[in-house]
Structure 1
Amino acid sequence: MSTRGRARNRVRLAGMASVVALTVAGCGGGGTGGDEVASAGNGRSSAGSAKGSSSELADYIEAQRKWVGCLRDAGLDAPDPDAHGKVDLGDQSKWKRDPKALKAQETCAKLSVPVPESVEQAQQPELSKEEISKNEKYASCMQEHGAPDFPDTDDTGHFQDVTWDSTSAGAKRATRECASIIGVPSNAPTPQG
């Protein structure tokens, strides 16, 4: 599968994980406060890995600042990155329709960097036992109903970052069949591929 296809599936998986997180959070399961960041990793930590993660985060934030600076130089009003390197550009549909924004994004594309895995992991919320169980049931359901390549959960209960074919007929069927597990109506639209 091409790099673009893997990236597209990562985005879809991230979107699906967001739906799961929002659905579970909306159902009122315990959890921590909304602005806390869960610790990265699998429960094992070391000073070296923490130092490496903070260095990656600092490098990522600096890269985001350069990208934002480029957007500003191109005439766009882009906000500074937050403490995790996120840049809130507001209404994305506006940015996709605005010729000036499209030109700026094209000009600054060389400065846009992917989110480092350690930063991504650090930003994942800590899941409750119920949320972990729900994700495990969802993964099993998806695999049993037509998406055998759907990712399992890792030891933190989040879906593993693997490439899977979310556009196949089996994946779409499984998504409809398993939607109720994560609190999404079975007649909700499925991702377009």
Structure 2
Amino acid sequence: MPIDGRRAGRRAGRGIRYAALAACAPLLVAVLTACGPGGPETTGEADSGAAGLWDAYDRQKQNLATCLNEKGLPEVRYLGHDNMAEFAGLPEGELTPELVECFQKWPALDPPVKDTPPKPTEEQLREGRRIAACMRENGVPDWPDPDPNPAPIDGATARRQKEAHRATMQQPAVRAAYQICNPDSSEAALGTAG
């Protein structure tokens, strides 16, 4: 039986494409993980997807620790994403060019799943609503009430919200109103500390 050249060529081409896709899959996972959170908020099949994202996150952090070890910091160890302090042995103080090179080569990733902020107590909600009403009465009309049911949030969004809050608290009208509405507040609450 003769072999049809067109069919054989198509099969070979398909095999090359599959091999190329298989070779690129780890890179795709790393790129998708680096581009932002993609953590599922459901259970079942989605949990296995989150486990894969955590694997990529852990590999990135372990690669950073290895790079730092190779650059003269043998005591640096990655302890894992489920440890409060992910690293042990990180140096304090100025970073050398070699260390900066490691952080550029293996940049920090946001955790691949979202964290749910703690739900405020009734007392915290009452105090937050009192302050919000006072702020609106004292020249900050769009000051929001506290959220009784905070939604899950990823690290990048949390950082953006913190920066936006800090910028808002630097506005003279907001600072003045906040000092009226919450006279016992610290400089940290006004966004001037740390």
- Of structures 1 and 2, the one scoring higher in RCO (CA 8 A, sep 6+) is 1
Larger Rg: 2
Q: Normalised by the size of structure 2, how large is the TM-score?
A: 0.49
Q: Normalised by the size of structure 1, how large is the TM-score?
A: 0.49
